[in-house]
Structure 1
Amino acid sequence: MKSLRSQPDLKLLSTFLAVVDRGSMAEAAAALGYVPSAVSQHIAALERDLGVELLVRRPGSRLILTAAGRALAQAARRLFEATARFQDAAARIADRDIAELRVGAYPSAMSHLLPGVLAALRPRRRGARIRLVIVETHEGLPRVTSGDLDLLIAYRYLPEDPPTPSADWNVTSLGHEPLVLVAGPRPDARPWQLADCLAMEWTSGHARSPDRRLLHRWAGELGISPEVTLETEDLHSMLAMIGAGLAVGLIPATLLGEGGDRPRVERVALPPEAAPLHREILAVSRPGVRHPVVEELLALLAEALRGARA
């Protein structure tokens, strides 16, 4: 049995379909702009490649397809239809018409920053669907490199922490999210002062987490030693413990802006020498030009962060 070469000759297949559709080599040649002998040579070459007869040629009558010819015509049509769909998709991709973008974001961004931003973005998406994935920064970076995520919304508490620009990804700063020292409601209604909190328990991340290292660096500059006894990576758990009067801690300002059943907390007044704290919010993507919808999403996020700072 003779096998066809690994890649079909699309020119021969196109000529073959023209002959099938028009019923004669002369009409196919006129439609394709060939001389009849060229069409005959194409069909003969295709039959040689396949090792089967495709057309029964009878002088004075229309060509008749063999069983092999009918099967090939059906397969060739599917091939050309798939090729056309591929070319359309490739053209849309070249024009930045992407069906889906996968965006990863840390949990508090997903619950506090992104809902309003995505609602504002929806009329501008031009058909691109955004698939959201909740992922912490350190877990999301390799997923950007692998292509599993098109964009990662990340945070950085200290300048030396990742993500930093590299050959694997581009890093864009979207702005800074203020960190606010808060405590639970005070029974006597007096405002909290930092001195009131020094003997209390504090909540933060584990010993090597970015927020914990920032807390200790900031405390060292002020000459204080907060005792962290309630460790958690979940900011909502931190807020719940603070609201219950169990601890004080640094909370991103965006978490304090929602109403409803949010735990009631109060800001702690800091001394003038205390430097304001924040975490930097970043966009991480693979090198190259970003999709316009991504650029619009990042512009809206930057605007939301400016509102948080205000």
Structure 2
Amino acid sequence: MDAHLLRTFVAVTRCGSFSRAADELGYTQSAVSQHIAALESDLGTPLLSRRPVQPTAAGRRLLEHAGPILVRLAAARAEITRMTQAPPDRLVVGVSPLAFVPEVVGANHVRVLPRVEVVTGVAQGTLDLGLVDGITAPSDPLNLPDVAPLAKAGVAERPLAVVLPADHPLAGRKHVKLADLADAQWIDAPESAIPLAQLRAASGTTGFRAALRYEGTHVPGLLEMATAGHGLALLPQTMVGGLPAVPVTRLVHRVERLTMPTQPGSGRSGVR
């Protein structure tokens, strides 16, 4: 399967248009149509319906494979490039919003990114180093997307706390189990708090219904929404300050450092 054809297919499905995909890729619309036709011929089945442009059942299944395949190809290219070229003067570090650990890097360019973009950025070579966070049992590694053979190391583990209004029935409790909060209403803030999907996975329960969607990485705004009663939010206890919050037992907020596997002569200054 030709990676160029696969990349065109992904662009068409994302754009929902052959012409917009052509503009994005720098091809003619005729070339895009030829790429899709060649890919469909290779696989022996239609991948896109044309009016409107959307993936068929086979196309949707191919999309599930396409993302990891293209990331792996980019990761392979990035790793070979790192082996054969001198390290750049600039150290670019990608950080997920709750993963700031300033003492572990000597960066001169920091990008705050969604968690999955930190992982793929390190794999593809657009980031020299990544700091990514999540919740685990103490000393357990994070469950990260398997996009490339990355080197991973834990750099911090912090207590977690549920932020809530001062008059909430749980306010004043010494601690709480996460599973006991599955039926509560939560703020769905995937980039400025622990994502609800991680809460379900960590607690082994369903629930954690979202009362409000909060998009962005502005943590102070999220804290105000939670203390005003719009829903609960789970954050590292160090970020809560003096706001009403209840510590969570048996789970920690973990930060891991991600790099490409170390190659001879590829050490980077400023990374400890």
TM-score normalized by the length of structure 1: 0.45
Residues 254 and 163 from structure 1, CA distance in 2 versus in 1: closer, same or farther, beyond 3 angstroms? farther
Percent identical residues: 20
Q: Is the 8 A contact 2:95 2:130 kept in 1?
A: yes
Partner Cα distance (1:189, 1:173) in 2: 32
- Paired residue for 2:229? 245
- Paired residue for 2:199? 215
- List alignment gaps of at least 5 residues for structure 1: 1-92, 258-263, 296-310
- Paired residue for 2:240? 256
Partner Cα distance (1:190, 1:180) in 2: 11
- Paired residue for 1:291? 268
- Paired residue for 1:191? 172
Q: Secondary structure at the match of 2:223?
A: helix
Partner Cα distance (2:246, 2:167) in 1: 11
Alignment of 1:73-152 (within 5 A): 99-110=89-100, 113-114=101-102, 117=103, 130-152=108-130
Q: Is the 8 A contact 1:241 1:247 kept in 2?
A: yes
Q: Secondary structure at the match of 1:107?
A: coil
1:254 CA drift (Å): 2.8
- Paired residue for 1:76? none
Q: Is the 8 A contact 1:144 1:284 kept in 2?
A: yes
- Paired residue for 1:277? 251
Aligned length: 174
Greater gyration radius: 1
Q: Is the 8 A contact 1:102 1:150 kept in 2?
A: yes
- List alignment gaps of at least 5 residues for structure 2: 1-84
1:215-271 Cα shifts (integer Å, max 9, x gaps): 2245556xx9543212335462432211212222211223124xxxxxx6312266x
Alignment of 1:227-242 (within 5 A): 227-232=209-214, 234=216, 236=219, 237-242=221-226
TM-score normalized by the length of structure 2: 0.50
Residues 204 and 276 from structure 1, CA distance in 2 versus in 1: closer, same or farther, beyond 3 angstroms? farther
Residues 286 and 247 from structure 1, CA distance in 2 versus in 1: closer, same or farther, beyond 3 angstroms? same
| Structure with greater helix percent | 1
What code does the residue aligned with 1:251 have? L
1:100 CA drift (Å): 1.8
Q: Secondary structure at the match of 2:271?
A: helix
Residues 197 and 246 from structure 1, CA distance in 2 versus in 1: closer, same or farther, beyond 3 angstroms? farther
Partner Cα distance (1:198, 1:173) in 2: 28
Partner Cα distance (1:155, 1:165) in 2: 16
1:152 CA drift (Å): 0.8
